[in-house]
């Protein structure tokens, strides 16, 4: 299983939110370049970046910061937030990003999603962000009536390679993740599953690995030293 340490970007700074609330922001690195040294020191090979401003506005607000991170590291990087058209997909892939993540666009424009998945294959992942198992969009500010579990099955059927599933109620709370939803998904989804939201304990890494989950995104727990990044990377191998 792959461990993806996460950077959320807001106003060019590396931050974490609590339950996706833009009013509950904690800044961890005013200069996100500093976090690269932290990841390097802990033997990370992967990086998950979310442009929070972009997710909310639908634009690539933090592109220059992401460009700097890509150009100054040899990490395998995936990026989400504000990617709503093919031009932006191309822009990130040409920059050297390994995978782009569609969220709002995947829900609101299914024809576009199918076209991009067939064209870019495993270079495109889909983020399913759920509040009470309903899909949330536009930086988690709007909750649709779409059942997130059923939506994941639809994504798998159309050939999405990697589904990143976040339980918003767990995100940033440091109280553990929703293991049960990943157990359910792993039984019915053909796509790779990446777990996200509230991963706090080493035992959760062990359990997710036992479920053959593809990846786990960790954020606040590594910055607050609840999880040791280097240790959980070894645990997940």
Q: What is the pLDDT of residue 154?
A: 97
End-to-end CA distance of the chain: 6
* Count of domains observed in the chain: 1
Overall pTM surpassing 0.85 (yes/no): yes
CATH number at residue 94: 3.20.20.70
59 pLDDT above the threshold of 90: no
Give me the DSSP letters along 185-219.
Answer: HHHH--SEEEEES----HHHHHHHHHTT-SEEEE-
Structural domain for 164, as ranges: 2-236
Q: What is the pLDDT of residues 45-58, one digit of tens each?
A: 999 999 999 888 88
> Residue 19 in contact with residue 171, Cβ under 8 Å?
yes
| Residues belonging to the active site | 8, 129
Q: What is the pLDDT of residues 12-26, one digit of tens each?
A: 999 877 777 777 888
> Residue 47 in contact with residue 66, Cβ under 8 Å?
no
* 3 state DSSP class of 89: helix
Q: Which residue has the higher pLDDT, 83 or 169?
A: 83
């Amino acid at each position: 299983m792959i461990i993806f340490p996460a950077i959320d970007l807001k106003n060019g700074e590396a931050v974490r939110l609590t339950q996706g609330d833009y009013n509950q922001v904690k800044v961890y690195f005013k200069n996100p370049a500093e976090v690269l040294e932290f990841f390097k020191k802990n033997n990370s090979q992967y990086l998950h970046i979310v442009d929070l401003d972009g997710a909310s506005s639908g634009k690539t607000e933090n592109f220059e910061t992401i460009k700097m991170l890509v150009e100054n590291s040899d990490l395998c990087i995936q990026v989400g937030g504000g990617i709503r058209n093919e031009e932006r997909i191309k822009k990130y892939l040409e920059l050297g990003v390994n995978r782009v993540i569609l969220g709002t666009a995947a829900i609101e424009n299914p024809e576009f999603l199918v076209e991009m998945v067939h064209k870019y294959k495993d270079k495109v992942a889909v983020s399913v962000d759920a509040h009470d198992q309903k899909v949330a969009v536009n930086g988690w500010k709007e909750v649709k009536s779409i059942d997130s579990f059923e939506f994941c099955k639809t994504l798998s059927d159309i050939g999405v390679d990697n589904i990143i599933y976040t339980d918003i109620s767990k995100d940033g709370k440091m109280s553990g993740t929703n293991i049960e939803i990943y157990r359910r998904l792993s039984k019915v989804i053909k796509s790779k599953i990446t777990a996200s939201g509230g991963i706090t304990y080493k035992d959760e890494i062990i359990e997710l690995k036992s479920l053959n989950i593809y990846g786990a995104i960790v954020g606040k727990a590594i910055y607050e030293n609840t999880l040791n990044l280097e240790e959980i990377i070894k645990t997940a191998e």
